[in-house]
Amino acid sequence: MSSVAPVLEAARAEGRAALIGYLPVGFPDHDSSIAAMVAMVESGVDIVEIGVPYSDPLMDGPVIQHAVEAALAGGARTKHAVDATEAVAKAGASSLLMSYWNLVDQYGVPRLAADLAAAGGSGLITPDLIPEEAGEWIAASDQHGLDRVFLVAPSSTDGRLAMTVAACRGFVYVASTMGVTGVRSQVNDAAEVLIRRTRAVTDLPLCVGLGVSNAEQAAQVAGFADGVIVGSAFVRALADAASPAEGVRAVGALAASLAEGVRSAPVSS
């Protein structure tokens, strides 16, 4: 695997947005987390976002916080996320690690870039890293041809939007709300406004995260974004299941429903 850009381009050629699904490695256990990621791929998810468990996930809501705490208690570490990348690649999908920067730094930036490329991964989403402080990662990602996905938010000034998207490769992560992640009862208008502002400064695909939990919301976001990112809803499907096996089935069913929603919306203009 290389950049996720061809995946997003292929979805657009089909007249739809891409579906991106997040799960942390190691929850509810290592094997089940990978099985759930594969189930997402088999049920219509285009790109898998593999969460690297972190002890202080300040930007994540309670559903994901609980999951990563359980994953850490079960021994999940960054190396296991790299293993999950290889499994997703074997399933035929692109993947990106979603990681707080401290974990990348501890693992070693050049080492992680090399290991990720060797495992068939496409790159990193770094929610707490800003481009001005990303010199080492930019150099390593250039060396190994990896995507680097930075975040923009409603609070981003026009100048910061332009600077951030210039450093991105693959797509731009459009955080539709301020605050921590989690499912929302509705998609707020800030997402579409931020998409319009960001489109004015880049031709890169724009993928919206934070809050989508059902097919109706997925279709709504797919009407104006290039990609729909779903995280907490997938984690909750695993967390609420009576057993890991039932959780994997629930993740697959949710992925199929969200994929149908994404495919029901016209491609964004």
> Which tokens is 203 given?
């031709």
Q: Is 49 a catalytic residue?
A: yes
- Given 29, 42, 49, 83, the catalytic residue: 49
Query: What is the secondary structure of 208-250 as a DSSP string?
Result: EES---SHHHHHHHHTT-SEEEE-HHHHHHHHTSSSHHHHHHH
Q: Is 246 a catalytic residue?
A: no
In 3-state terms the chain splits into helix, strand, coil percentages (rounded to 5) of 50, 15, 35
Q: Cα–Cα distance between 27 and 220 in angstroms, integer?
A: 29
The single residue listed with the structure tokens 């939990």 is 213
Partners of 19 in the beta sheet? Answer: 228
Contacts of 31 (CB under 8 A, 6+ apart): none
Number of H helices, E strands in the chain: 12, 9
Contacts of 17 (CB under 8 A, 6+ apart): 11, 221, 222, 225, 226, 227, 228, 262, 265, 267, 268
Contacts of 226 (CB under 8 A, 6+ apart): 8, 11, 12, 17, 18, 171, 205, 206, 207, 268
The single residue listed with the structure tokens 């001005």 is 132
- Given 60, 115, 147, 226, the catalytic residue: 60
The residues annotated as belonging to the active site are 49, 60
